[in-house]
Amino acid sequence: MSETTLACQRMRELSPELEEAILAERRAQWEPKPAKYDKGTLGLFTRFASSPMKGAYLTFE
């Protein structure tokens, strides 16, 4: 844990500036999960499917 997070746990309250610092630190460390499927039909769907809100059709662009 970082010093910022530890300080927040001790104080049990967050100021807006401290909250932004924590969020910025988390954004810098974030990495997306690897795809579960990279081969076959599900691999194709994972790579090329559009959002379910758009109908989840495949886009081969």
Q: Could you read off the pLDDT of 14-31 as tens digits, one per residue?
A: 677 778 888 899 999 999
Mean pLDDT score of the chain: 79
Residue 58 binned pLDDT confidence (cut-offs 50, 70, 90): confident
Tokens of 35: 């795809």
- If we measure between CA atoms, which residue out of 31, 4, 32, 6 comes closest to residue 18? 4
**What distance in Å separates the CA atoms of residue 61 and residue 58, rounded to the nearest whole number?**
9
DSSP, collapsed to helix, strand or coil, labels residue 50 as: coil
